[in-house]
Structure 1
Amino acid sequence: MTLIAHMTDLHLRPRGLACYRVSDTNMLAERAIRALQALDTRPDALVITGDLTDRSDPREYAVARQLLSRLQMPIYLLPGNHDSTDGMRREMAGYPGLSETGDGKICYTADIGACRLVVLDTHLAGSPCGELGREQLAWLNARLHEDRRPTLIALHHPPALSGIRHMDAIGLTDAAALAEVLSPHAHVERILCGHLHRPIIASFAGKVMTLAPSTGHQVVLDLTEESPAQFNFEPPAYFLHYHSVETGVVSHMAYVENFPGPFSFYADDGVVWPGDET
């Protein structure tokens, strides 16, 4: 079996500074890493689908390096709109794939157990929107034709619309072109993304898209026509993508917080359940 942890949108800040004045994203990211370390089964890898930092500040990348150094597993990074391609390549040098991508987009492949990960870069300088571009799409098409193993595609901006209008307005600008590339490939079992700070499952190009919530604050669920851009502190979470020959890829959402339990499924002595009177 293969187990891949998927976190997103950490929005790390320089030490002592909150995100948007009220979100202690560094503390919340610390909790997420501790939750990952506490799992009974250690993941084979961690994928972080962008917005590792809040402003692509070297001090924020320094926090990221210190935080991620605690994990004894490969970590695969890609930039979001709050990061920058050049900043991530420079400040996170040494992480898989980042130093092998030249000076263009950060795109690379990785083998994780029986699965193949394909990492894409949607960062668009000066814009909250995302774009893959022709060159990266051609690269992706070539990678999908060369290997037919179960494949997960990781990118920051979700290609499918969510119905949250203010977030859809800053989505992936060339989603239709991505759909043309992905549609013929049945071995693409998951599209992993972030950006929306909510757990969202959708279909895109005949594939399952799993959009992970943030490890910090979440975007308010508002599907009205004029939904304002607001966030709250719903419980942070992340995804665990489990793969086996029998199941294919199965995605589980795991919460960062601790809750009461576990408890065994046993009734109290002497309890008679309805229908069991006889």
Structure 2
Amino acid sequence: MLIVQLSDSHLSADPTRRYRDVDADTRLTSMLARVSRYQPDLIVVSGDVSDDGSSASYQRAAASFDALGCPWVWLPGNHDHPATMSQVRALESVIHSSGWQILLLNTWIEGEEGGRLGEAQRAQLEAQLASDTSPALIVLHHPPVSVDTDWMNEIGLEDREAFWAVLGRYDHVQAVLCGHIHHEMTCLHRGVPVMSVPAIAAQFVPDRPDFAVDACAPGGFRLIRLSMEGMRQPRLSTRVEYVPV
């Protein structure tokens, strides 16, 4: 099974409005043209589809994803409006395919840049992992780990320790994917790979104490191949493909 992770397109109701001096709609079109070459089995969009939470931006994004002709799902980021989003396309929480479970978490907090799962959603996550022992891939918008950018750590996942307490009770979580940080990151946290993906729109500069945008950095998407090998052992391989500005 081949999954493509996309994130942070930051579309607006007005397709001519720029996001941090970037033409977000043109970036999305270029990105999806490259994605289409791979004919993925599933596209997962890990939040900040919209920059203004408008119905028009979601409708335009959904039409673009539909045009690829493969299944796709999305989850909200801090710039999104989940209720509006779900009117255009439902927010799914679990997908089963090829012997895997893909768990899509909602970390949105109204009016906040940071994210939170909350007690109820953490309980649902625990119930899902306890009841289904197939290999799990978890996707959320806000990074559940510290990153190499100080200001970003202030707006990451607020209840990350409680999240990892849940994951620590199960050994079938194979990886965690996130968005939000607008550049690629890969780390191993408590034995679980955690990976982010470049934004579709503008990229943020890592390793800085203050906010900055790299106008020349390419966007990108993550390719994730999931399989089950001998003796039903899960295998996950991944890489990021960059799409020049």
Using the size of structure 1 for normalisation, the TM-score is 0.82
Does structure 1 residue 164 correspond to structure 2 residue 146?
no
One-letter amino acid matched to 1:218: Q
Among 191, 195, 212, the residue aligned to 1:230 = 212
Q: CA deviation at 1:146?
A: 1.1
Please state how far the C-alpha of 1:122 moved relative to its aligned partner: 0.2
Partner of 1:132: 117
> What one-letter code is carried by the residue in structure 2 that aligns with 1:77?
W
The answer to whether 1:49 aligns with 2:46 is yes
Aligned residues of 1:9 and 1:216 also touching (Cα < 8 A)? yes
Deviation at 1:238, TM superposition (A): 0.8
| TM-superposed deviation, 1:163 | 2.2
Residues 1:4 and 2:9 aligned together: no
State the Cα deviation string for residues 215-252 of structure 1 (Å, max 9, x = none).
Answer: 121111224xxx22111131111111112234711111
In 1: Cα distance, 2:241 partner to 2:169 partner? 31
1:266 is matched with: none
Aligned residue type for 1:144: L
- SS across alignment from 1:228: coil
Counterpart selection for 1:241 from 212, 224, 235:
224
Alignment identity in percent? 29
> 1:252 aligns to what?
239
Corresponding position of 2:84: 87
Indicate the residue corresponding to 2:158 in structure 1: 173
Displacement after TM superposition at 1:126 (Å): 0.8
Identify the residue that residue 37 of structure 1 maps to in structure 2. Answer: 36
The separation in 1 between residues aligned to 2:112 and 2:97, in whole angstroms, is 32
Residue 57 of structure 1 deviates from its aligned partner by: 1.4
- TM superposition shift of 1:59: 1.9
**Which secondary structure state, in structure 2, belongs to the residue aligned with residue 35 of structure 1?**
helix
Could you list the per-position Cα deviations for residues 141-192 of structure 1 after superposition, in whole angstroms to 9, with x for gaps in the alignment?
0000111112100100010010201111111100000000011222111101
Q: Work out which of the two has the higher radius of gyration on C-alpha atoms and give 1 or 2.
A: 1
- Please list, as runs of the form range in 1=range in 2, the aligned pairs for 1:74-223 lying within 5 A after superposition: 74-90=71-87, 92-93=88-89, 95=90, 98=91, 108-223=93-208
> Where does structure 2 lack aligned partners over 5 or more consecutive residues?
none
Name the aligned partner's letter for residue 94 of structure 2: T
**Higher relative helix content:** 2
8 Å Cα contact 2:19-2:202 kept in structure 1: no
The 5-angstrom pairing of residues 56-67 of structure 1 reads 56-67=53-64
Give the secondary-structure state (helix, strand or coil) at the position aligned to 2:170.
Answer: coil
| CA distance, structure 1, for counterparts of residue 47 and residue 139 of structure 2 | 9
- Distance in 1 separating the partners of 2:189 and 2:129: 16
> Quick one: distance in 2 between partners of 1:137 and 1:242?
27
One-letter identity of the residue aligned with 1:25: A
**What is the match of residue 18 of structure 1?**
18
In terms of fraction of residues, the more strand-rich structure is 2
